[in-house]
Chain A
Amino acid sequence: MIKKPTICLASLVAIVLLAACAAPAPTPVPPTVAPTIVAAPPPTPAMVSPTQAPIVAPTAAASRGGELRIATTTDAVTLHPYKRTDSASGGYIGRMFTGALWRYNPETLEPEPFIAKAWKVAADQKTITFTLNELKWSDGKPLTAFDYQWTFEQAMKPENKWPYRSDPEKNIVTYKALDDKTLEIAIKEAKPLPVLLDKVDLITPLPRHVWEKYDWNDPTKNPEIMQPTVVSGMYLLKEWKRDDHATFSRNDNYFRGSPNIETITYRIVPNTSVSLQMLLSGEVDQSAMSDNDFDKAKASDKLNLYEWDPAAASWDYIGFNLRRAPNNDVEFRHAISYAIPRDLIAQKIYNALRKPIYSIFPPTSWVYNPNVPKYEYNIETAKATLDKAGYKLDANGKRLGKDGKPLKLKLLHETPAPTREKTGLVMQEELGKLGIDVEIVPLEWGAFLNAVKKEPNDWDLDILAWSVGIEPSGIRDIWSEATIPDLNSVAYINKNLEALWDRGEKEFDQAKRKVIYQEIQQVISGDSPYVFLTYRSGWSFLNKRVSSNPVTRLGIAYDFQRWFITPGK
Chain B
Amino acid sequence: MSGTSRYILRRLIQNILLLFVITVLSFAFMRLAPGGPESFIGADDPKMSPDLRSRIRAEYGLDDPIPVQYWNWLSHVLQGDFGRSFIDQRPVLDKIAERLPATITLNLATIFVGLFGIPIGILAAVKRGGLFDRFMAIFNSLGNSVPHWWLGLIILIFIAAPTGLLPLGGMYTIGKENDIMDRLWHLLLPATIAALGDWITLSRYLRSSILEVIRLDYIRTARAKGMNERVVLWRHAFRNALIPIVPFFVFSIAGLISGAVIYENTFSWPGIGRMAVQAAFQRDYPVVMALTIIGSFLTITGLIIVDIIYTLVDPRVKYT
Task: Using A446-B281, A477-B46, A478-B46 as known contacts, say yes or no to A77 and B87 having CB atoms under 8 A apart.
Answer: yes
Question: Quick check: B43 and A247 within 8 Å, CB to CB?
Answer: no
Tell whether B168 is near chain A: CB-to-CB under 8 Å: yes
Give Cα A243–Cα B101 distance, bound, in whole angstroms: 13
Beta-carbon nearest neighbor of A443 in chain B: B34
Chain A residues, CB < 8 A from B160 = 277
Q: How far is the CB of B93 from chain A (nearest CB, A)?
A: 11
Bound Cα distance from A1 to B88, whole angstroms: 21
Q: Is the CB of B268 within 8 A of A281?
A: no
Q: Is B179 an interface residue (CB 8 A)?
A: no
Cβ-defined contact, B46 with A268, below 8 A: no
Interface residue B291 (Cβ < 8 Å from any Cβ of A): no
Interface assignment of A445: CB less than 8 Å from any CB of chain B: yes
The reply to whether A78 and B88 form a contact with Cβ atoms under 8 Å apart is yes
Task: Judge if B143 is at the interface, Cβ distance under 8 Å.
Answer: no
A window 145-174: CB within 8 A of B? 161-167, 169
Binds B, one of A114-122, A449-457, A538-546: A449-457
- Which residues of chain B from 47 to 89 have a CB within 8 Å of any chain A CB? 47-52, 55-56, 59, 87-89
Interface residues of A in 428-470 (CB under 8 A from B): 444-447, 449-451, 453
The reply to whether B270 and A268 contact each other, CB–CB distance below 8 Å, is yes
Whether A450 touches B281, Cβ cut-off 8 Å, given contacts A1-B45, A247-B174, A487-B46, is no
Q: Are A449 and B49 in contact (CB under 8 A)?
A: no
- A446, B90: Cβ atoms under 8 Å? no
B33 at interface, CB cutoff 8 A: yes
Q: How far is the CA of A219 from the CA of B85 in the complex (A)?
A: 11
In the complex, B208 has a CB within 8 A of chain A:
no
The secondary-structure label for the interface of chain B is: loop
B168 contacts A277, C-beta separation under 8 Å = yes
B255 within 8 A of A: no
Q: In chain B, what residue has the closest Cβ to A239?
A: B174
Cβ-closest chain B residue relative to A486:
B43
Contact B174 A265 (CB under 8 A): yes
Residue of B nearest to A276 (CB): B157
B169 contacts the other chain (CB 8 A) = yes
Decide yes or no whether B40 CB sits under 8 A from chain A: yes
Closest approach, in angstroms, between the C-beta of A228 and any C-beta of chain B?
14
Contact A453-B268, Cβ < 8 Å, known A77-B88, A164-B48, A166-B51: no
Which chain B residues border A273 with CB–CB below 8 Å?
Answer: 153, 156-157
Would you give the shortest CB distance from B177 to chain A, in whole angstroms? 9
The 8 Å CB contact of B48, one of A85, A219, A247, A281, is A85
Q: Does B311 contact A (CB under 8 A)?
A: no
B268 and A244 within 8 A (CB): yes
Please determine whether B270 and A164 come into contact, CB atoms closer than 8 angstroms: no
Segment 236-251 of A: residues with Cβ below 8 Å from B: 241-245, 247
- Bound form: Cα–Cα A486–B46 in Å: 9
Residue A2 at the B interface, CB < 8 A?
yes
A270 smallest CB distance to B (angstroms):
4
- Alpha-carbon separation in the docked complex, A477 to B266 (Å): 40
> Taking the nearest CB of chain B, how far is it from the CB of A50, in angstroms?
27
A446 contacts which chain B residues (CB < 8 A)? 33-35, 39-40, 281-283
Alpha-carbon distance A265/B33, docked complex (angstroms)? 37
Asked if B89 contacts A166 (CB within 8 A), the reply is no
Chain B residues within an 8 Å CB radius of A277: 156-157, 160-161, 168
Given contacts A268-B270, A450-B35, contact A474 B46 (CB under 8 A): yes
Question: CA of A68 to CA of B153 in the docked complex: distance in angstroms?
Answer: 25
Q: Contact string, B81-111, partner A, CB cutoff 8 A, digits 1/0? A: 0000001111100000011001000000000
Which residues on B sit within 8 Å (CB–CB) of A212? Answer: none
Contact between chains at A486 and B50 (CB < 8 Å)? yes
Q: List the 4 closest A-B pairs by CB distance, nearest first.
A: A2-B44, A446-B35, A166-B49, A243-B270
Residues of B within 8 A of A (CB): 33-35, 39-52, 55-56, 59, 87-91, 98-99, 102, 153, 156-157, 160-162, 164, 168-171, 174, 264-268, 270, 274-275, 281-283
A-B contact pairs, 19 of them (CB 8 A): A78-B88, A78-B89, A161-B52, A165-B52, A166-B48, A167-B47, A169-B49, A243-B275, A269-B168, A271-B265, A274-B157, A274-B169, A274-B268, A446-B40, A449-B39, A449-B44, A451-B34, A453-B43, A474-B46
